[in-house]
Amino acid sequence: MSKAPQNQVRWQRAVEGLHTEIKRLPPTEPVNKELVLAIVRAFGALYECRKTRNEEDYYLGNLKSTGRLEGTREEVLGTVSDAIERTIEYFSKESRIFPHQAEILARNLINVLWKERFKIDVDAVLAPYAPAFTRLVKRKGGRRPLKEAFLPAKRRRANVLLVGMLILVLLALPVVMYVSTFGPHLSHDHTRWGEMGSAFAGIYTPIMAGLTLVVLGFQVHLQRQLNDQTETHANIDLARDNVDYHTSYLISYLKCVGTSGNKSGRDCILGFLDLNEIDFYNGNLSLDELDAAFPSVFMAWLAISEEIFKLRCRGDRLYWAAAEAIVLRLQTALGEKTCIALDNFTWVLNRKKDYGFDEIVYSFSADIPNHGRNA
C-alpha cells in the first residue's frame, strides 16, 4: 500500500487524540451527541470517497446491524452505507450516548484513515466536521477543549513560529544584555575576548543543556506512546484474528445437520434461547447427543468468550472498546438470538457435563446467574 499523505496522517493522529479524550470520560457520563453524530458522518464521508476497499466486515461490526437473523449475507449484514444511515438514525433518537459507544464509532474513523487511501483530499472531506470535533466532550462544570490536533494549518504554523521566536529571544537575550552593558565596540585585547567567551559559555551551556533535555524527554515520551500503541494494536488484532478463526468454524458447525432428525446446529442451539424453559436438571435435554453431534461448538464459543474476557480484564478503555466491538461483530455475524442461545448452551453443558471450567464470561445472556463473569 502506498504511503499516506501527510495531511491524512495528521487527521489520523488528531482522531486518535479525540478518541483519547473520550476514553478519559467516566463510563456512565454521557458524550455530546453532536460529537458522536459528527464522527459517524465523517466516517461516512471518507468511506464514500475511498480509492481502496479494505476492512468492510470491521466497519459493519462497529455500526448498527440490520437485526435480521436469516437470509443471504447481504440481507443479514447489509452494506456499510446502509449501516451508517441506521447508526445515525439510532443515535439521533437516543437521549444519552455513553463513552464506550462513542469509542467504537471513533475506531471506525481511525481505521479508515489508517488503512484506506482516498480519491480526493482528506482536508476537503473532513473540514466541515472539524468544528464539531473541537467542540469538546461534554463534562461536568463546562466543556474542555481538545488539544490542538484539529487546529487549521495556518494557526498551527503560527504556534510553531511563536515557539521558535521565543527560543530565539531566549538565545539572543544574553548577547543583548552583554552589548548593552559593555558596549558594541570590538576590543583589540585578546584577554577581553577570552572573558566574553567564558561569560557566554557559562550562560549558554546550561540553556542548551536544558533544551537538549527537553527534546530528549519529548522524544522518549513519543517513543513510549508509540510502543504502547503498537503493543495495544497488536494485542487487539491478535484477539480479533482468534475470534474470527473460531467464529468461522462455529458458523460451519451451526450449518451442519446433526443426529437429531434433520435439525441444523443452529436449530438445536436455538432450543437454549430461553434458559428459564430448560429443565436440564431432570435430564430432559439430549445434551450427550448434541455434544456428540457438534463437539466443537462448546470449545469454539468458550475460546471466543475467553478472548472477550482477556480484553476486558486489561483495564484500559481501548481494550474494553475492542471487546465491545467484538461483541457487536458476533451479533452481526451470528445473530443476537444465536449468541444468547450459545451462552445458555455453554453454561448448561458446562454444568451438566461437569467439564470443570469454573470461570467463563457470558456476554450475551442475561438469564445466566452472575451474567458477565461467572466465577
Task: Using only the alpha carbons of the chain, give its radius of gyration.
Answer: 29
Q: With b meaning 16 or more CB within 10 Å and e meaning fewer, what string describes 191-212?
A: eeeeeeeeeeeebeeeeeeeee
Q: Does residue 17 carry a pLDDT above 80? A: no
Pair (273, 247) in one structural domain: yes
Contact between 207 and 170 under an 8 Å Cβ cutoff? The reply is yes
Copy the grid coordinates of residue 168: 530565539
* Whether 130 and 12 share a structural domain: yes
Q: How many domains does the chain have?
A: 3
Asked if 61 and 143 sit in the same domain, the reply is yes
pLDDT confidence of residue 155: 59
Q: Which three cell numbers stand for residue 83?
A: 449501516
pLDDT of 312 above 60: yes
User: What is the per-residue pLDDT for 293?
Assistant: 56
Q: Tell me the pLDDT tens digit for each residue of 46-88.
A: 998 888 887 777 788 788 877 766 667 777 778 888 889 999 9
- Look up cell 543543556; give the residue: 209
Give the residue among 3, 22, 237, 8 at the shortest CA–CA distance from 112: 8
Instruction: Return the pLDDT at 116.
Output: 87
Mean pLDDT across the chain, nearest whole number? 77
Domain co-membership, 123 together with 181: no
In tens, the pLDDT along 254-307 reads 777 554 556 677 777 787 777 665 544 334 445 565 666 566 788 888 888 888
The domain containing residue 186 runs over which residues? 153-222
278 vs 317, more confident: 317
d(CA 199, CA 193): 10
Residue 211 corresponds to which cell in the numbers above? 533544551
> Is the predicted pLDDT of residue 136 greater than 50, yes or no?
no
Residues 231 and 354 in one domain: yes
Strand extents, DSSP E, the chain: 137-139, 142-144, 360-362, 372-374
Question: Where do we find the cell 483530499?
Answer: 121
Residues 302 and 179 in one domain: no
Pick the last residue of a domain from 204, 222, 240. Answer: 222
Q: Are residues 218 and 199 in the same domain?
A: yes
